[in-house]
Amino acid sequence: MRKKIAAANWKMNLRQEQGEQLLTAILQKNISLKPHQFAIFAVPFPYLPMASEKISGKINYSVAAQNCYHKSAGAFTGEVSAEMLSSLNIPYVVLGHSERREYFGETNAMLAEKVNLTLSNGLQPVFCCGEPLFIREENGQNDYVEKQLREGLFHLDNAQIRKIIIAYEPIWAIGTGKTASAAQAQEMHAHLRSVMAGKYGHEIADDLSVLYGGSVKGSNASEIFSQPDVDGGLVGGASLNAEEFCQIISALP
């Protein structure tokens, strides 16, 4: 069975004491996860040690970094390397989030470098992809996202690709007033899986977890997660509310 994942992306939010309070409130719910279910907290860099300590001993609860640099080391003031994250025993790292692509100019080639560095340092990438509004309006979303996968991931061998988690973000439905339906999420997730199957075969593609990153909330998580090719969510705003995120975790199939 594929891993089903509720991944919280705190982005650049919360003071440390607020983050501690949020994690405490979520963990106090004592949501028991099945062997195939995982809750992952992508917290800002300064909070990684705190979050790791808070979830210590909790089965299938993990921590992720929100990014890393695309070079292994050097004179890159202010950046954080995959090796640094590995030295903190961080198991996951989010790569290629739409905000990183849009605001910081991250390219598919840069992300391919990041993927290589994270894998070589024992981290598991959560690789983000997704199309903006103008691409969706031109009905070019399939080709656009396929290009992101090809240029960011297709250099990997079969063993490496099995370690990748994919997160699809319909950028056109985030903060635009437009809404992506569960059916639209399923349609794109099925396409992503077919693209991966074309490169790596159906057995590997069927084992890949593909998360949905389009405004998942407690009220719509069950419907979205019930889609056959949706394996959970990469959750932004709703992950900053303990009650809301607990509903999302509990909605994992």
Catalytic residue among 70, 97, 99, 106: 97
The continuous run of DSSP H or E covering 251 comes out as: none
Phi-psi region of 57 (alpha: psi -120 to 50; beta: other; left: phi over 0): left
Catalytic residue among 106, 146, 169, 189: 169
Q: Output the CA torsion 44→126→211→112 (10° steps).
A: 130
With DSSP H G I counted as helix, E B as strand and the rest as coil, what are the percentages for the chain, rounded to 5?
Answer: 45, 15, 40
In this structure, are residues 85 and 123 in contact, taking their beta carbons and an 8 Å threshold?
Answer: yes
**Helices first, then strands: H and E counts in the chain:** 12, 8
Is residue 187 annotated as a catalytic residue, yes or no? Answer: no
The two three-digit tokens of residue 83, written as one number? 């090796």
Q: How far is CA 68 from CA 84, 96, 155, 236, in A?
A: 9, 10, 19, 19
Cα maximum dimension of the chain: 48
Q: Which amino acid is at 106?
A: E
Is residue 169 annotated as a catalytic residue, yes or no? Answer: yes
Cα 139 from chain centroid?
A: 24
Q: Give the active site residues.
A: 97, 169
